Structure 1
Amino acid sequence: MLLADGSEPGPVFFDLGSGSTFHESTSWWHYDGTFRRPTAVTMRGRCACDWRGTSRYPIDWEKVREDDDPDAYDTTGLYAEWEAHLDEVAGRAVTLPGDLVELLGQVHERIDQLWLEDNSARGYATMLKTCDALEAIIAQVGPEAAQVLGREQDEVAPAIAEALGTTEQAARTRLLHYQHLIWR
């Protein structure tokens, strides 16, 4: 969202009563000027990685109020620009080897088949046992890979984030998750 002066407003806070915390939102439809909230005049795509879209999309508040459903408002251009950004990020990320992609696809497909074939307690137990096997692989491989990358994190954090196709903060979180993963 952008205000008339071109700035991005901070989050909108909602006082829900007698608690010490306040709900906050950055959803565009909350910037409609009611209850002393700022009024957004245009929307622009944005991402957690600090990317900002180049196009601006005007907000017709009369149309929003008339429909009384923010989800019905046309934001397709905004989302198309954001999805193009996500495709660009994914294009810079590490590509999994084709045979691994195929194997993971087969595992996913087989789990889906289990879901359809046997909805008994035994079928669900089989699915959970499959998840256990996958988690065991992750616990065996993940910590070592994360520890190696973690040692280099400060020097090459942007490159690690790009290789993972995510933000630096999300990459740090993922590394910490895998570094401290323990399988029982």
Structure 2
Amino acid sequence: MNLNHVFVCGHPALDFAATLRARRSTRFEMFVTPERLNAWYLESGLVDSVTPGDEDDVREATAVREAIYRLVTDRRLGEGFDAEALDTVNAAARRPPVTPQLTENGRLTVATSAQALATVARQAVELLSGPDVPLMKECGNPECTRVYIDRSRGTRRQWCGMESCGNKIKAAAYRARKKTSPAVSAH
């Protein structure tokens, strides 16, 4: 599995929650180092620059990520929120967030890892208390556990993204159909 961060979920908090991939099988961790965590903050567009983090930042981000995923799952399944997960996300959301600054060249957002995490937690609060809750779906690929916002016409989208999951599933289904269809004889 590649180490590139993927942003296909339609909401930053869901993309953040998806950084532990394939939760039901191989469990592939994207936040293996403080640098990989900071890369997510940068690649997501949340910050322009982030101060170097440490292992504590990774542990805290991982705890908040898991709490977000739990709350998203609770909400998606129509269940009450897990109290511990709720406390974890709310505690992170209460901390100082990323604060953009105006410069001669436009907007500049420099942050610490803690500020970036507080901002992600606040985004999760907005998502889970907002109008997109009914649009949250889990990817149809059984190996994938990403949750995404389905804004497709008729809300018929089946996968988190065509590049990441849709093409794999469609190709596998095509190969399965080819195997089971009888060979055409040329008489």
Does the pair score TM above 0.5? Answer: no
Q: TM-score range by the shorter chain?
A: under 0.3
Greater length-normalized contact order (CA 8 Å, ≥ 6 residues apart): 2
More strand by share: 2
Larger radius of gyration: 1
More helix by share: 1
